[in-house]
């Protein structure tokens, strides 16, 4: 079997060697940052230092940073923690599109089961939110939920503007939450400038360790903790925080920011080389998402006309290319991307869409090789020359 080329970086990214090394020290030391003795204080210092670095990278205050086990917990905790806000007299409304990731969609469903009314946030054909198309202002206390960058299309949302426009249209807007999982570490993110109240992110999406995430909670905005336990994280998230994972995450985020421009340039080069090769060999194909240079360069949603995505992805796998049809979460899911119907009216077309996402640590040669392997599969499945 061929050494697989990973074009599924939006599912997870490899942790960088220097990050693994930095974590080793803290895994090897008994470090409970809640212990008031010397050993504990040293761990606490490392934890708080990491918190300050993360806060500064994300335009937040250190006391707005809460460490969680990942984006799923962050999204759920941020959304369900809105209880004090949503406990108004009339049922609250949530403005949210079907394009959100399952880790957002499932807590939204919980809120809906508790009485919240859902209203669709309009999106354009390539996945940008369009607040101008909002016809009626949803009643009651209004909550806006919107991703910052999309895991499938790579669309980057002008979130600050979106919040601004919604606020103008709807003076009853009381909270805004963003799932920034695919944005943090890839583009510059400024929590305060985004004008949202809560934000979710995960280290394993930016070459940090798996098992650790970030929830940002705006100062002075009432929010109810979902896990209390021993009262860690200023009472906002119980459980001994893993100093090793937090230190690794801070280091990975620092590296991502220091190398951001270089990584973005590299990904743009990879994208061009890859797409050129694909256009030449696999047309007709369609790229679903923002124009080049507008979205995440490393993310491509591609429709290979006439080829079922499930078969394509299996074929790619046999030829040593890892790709996906949507988010990896649900075990072995081959279902199309949630909300794809908003971007593509034709159901048959939606079944032909594959997500290809690469990483800055890859090379042009690797991406061209991947394109060649993909072409082999696509041509075979289209029944053309072998």
Extract the tokens encoding 65. 């940073």
364 lies in the site for its own copies, by CB under 8 A = no
120 lies in the site for its own copies, by CB under 8 A = no
Among 317, 341, 368, 372, binds its own copies (CB under 8 A): 317
What is the nearest approach in angstroms of its own copies to the Cβ of residue 37? 4
What is the nearest approach in angstroms of its own copies to the Cβ of residue 106? 4
Among 171, 293, 332, 384, binds its own copies (CB under 8 A): 332
335 lies in the site for its own copies, by CB under 8 A = no
Cα separation of 361 and 306, whole Å?
A: 32
How many residues line the site for its own copies (CB under 8 A)? 77
56 lies in the site for its own copies, by CB under 8 A = no
96 lies in the site for its own copies, by CB under 8 A = no
Say which residue the tokens 């860690």 belong to. 232
What is the nearest approach in angstroms of its own copies to the Cβ of residue 241? 8
Backbone angles phi, psi at 32, to 5 degrees: -100, 110
Buried b (16+ CB within 10 A) or exposed e, 14-43: ebbeebeebbeebeeeebebeeeeeebebb
> Which residues are annotated as catalytic?
329
62 lies in the site for its own copies, by CB under 8 A = no
Cα separation of 368 and 363, whole Å?
A: 9
Neighbours of 106 (CB within 10 A): 15
Q: Between 181 and 220, how does the x/- string for binding to its own copies read (CB under 8 A)?
A: ---------------------x-x----xxxx--------
337 lies in the site for its own copies, by CB under 8 A = no
What is the nearest approach in angstroms of its own copies to the Cβ of residue 147? 15
Part of the chain binding its own copies (CB under 8 A), chosen from 66-74, 113-121, 147-155, 372-380: 66-74
Among 59, 224, 239, 342, binds its own copies (CB under 8 A): 239
Part of the chain binding its own copies (CB under 8 A), chosen from 38-46, 52-60, 86-94, 182-190: 38-46
Among 69, 93, 157, 182, binds its own copies (CB under 8 A): 69
What is the nearest approach in angstroms of its own copies to the Cβ of residue 359? 8
Interface positions, 130-149, toward its own copies (CB under 8 A): none
374 lies in the site for its own copies, by CB under 8 A = no
172 lies in the site for its own copies, by CB under 8 A = no
Part of the chain binding its own copies (CB under 8 A), chosen from 99-107, 143-151, 172-180, 276-284: 99-107
Q: Between 72 and 91, how does the x/- string for binding to its own copies read (CB under 8 A)?
A: xx-xx---------------
Cα separation of 224 and 64, whole Å?
A: 14
Is residue 309 within 8 A of residue 335, CB to CB? The reply is no
152 lies in the site for its own copies, by CB under 8 A = no
Neighbouring C-alpha atoms within 13 Å toward the C-beta of 279 = 7
Interface positions, 254-313, toward its own copies (CB under 8 A): 313
Neighbouring C-alpha atoms within 13 Å toward the C-beta of 170 = 26
């Amino acid at each position: 079997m061929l050494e697989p080329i990973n074009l599924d970086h939006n599912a997870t990214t490899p942790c960088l060697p220097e990050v693994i090394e930095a974590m080793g020290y803290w895994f090897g030391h008994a470090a409970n940052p809640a212990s008031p003795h010397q050993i504990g204080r040293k761990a606490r210092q490392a934890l708080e230092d990491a918190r300050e670095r993360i806060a500064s990278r994300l335009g937040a205050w250190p006391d707005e940073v809460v460490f969680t086990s990942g984006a799923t917990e962050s999204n759920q905790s941020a959304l369900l923690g809105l209880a004090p806000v949503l406990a108004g007299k009339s049922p609250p409304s949530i403005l949210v599109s079907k394009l959100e990731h399952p880790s957002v969609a499932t807590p939204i469903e919980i809120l809906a089961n508790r009485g919240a009314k859902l209203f669709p946030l309009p999106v354009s054909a390539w996945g940008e939110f369009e607040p101008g198309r909002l016809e009626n202002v949803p009643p009651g206390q209004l909550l806006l939920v919107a991703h910052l960058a999309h895991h499938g299309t790579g669309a980057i949302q002008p979130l600050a503007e979106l919040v601004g426009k919604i606020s103008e249209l709807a003076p009853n807007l009381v909270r805004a939450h963003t799932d920034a999982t695919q944005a943090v570490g890839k583009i510059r993110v400024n929590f305060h400038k985004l004008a949202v109240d809560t934000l979710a992110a995960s280290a394993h999406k930016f070459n940090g360790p798996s098992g650790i995430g970030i929830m940002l909670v705006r100062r002075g905005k009432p929010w109810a903790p979902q896990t209390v336990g021993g009262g860690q994280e200023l009472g906002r998230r119980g459980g001994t925080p893993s100093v090793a994972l937090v230190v690794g995450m801070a280091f990975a985020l620092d590296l991502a920011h220091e190398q951001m421009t270089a990584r973005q340039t590299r990904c743009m080069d990879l994208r061009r080389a890859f797409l050129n090769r694909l256009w030449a060999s696999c047309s007709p194909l369609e790229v679903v998402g923002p124009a080049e240079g507008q979205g995440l360069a490393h993310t491509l949603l591609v429709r290979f006309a006439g080829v079922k995505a499930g078969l394509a992805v299996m074929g790619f796998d046999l030829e040593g290319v890892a790709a996906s049809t949507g988010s990896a979460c649900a075990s072995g899911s081959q279902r199309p991307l949630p909300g794809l119907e908003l971007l593509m009216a034709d159901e048959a077309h939606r079944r032909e869409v594959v997500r290809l996402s690469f990483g800055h640590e890859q090379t042009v040669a690797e991406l061209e090789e991947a394109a060649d392997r993909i072409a082999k599969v696509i041509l075979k499945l289209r029944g053309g020359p072998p």
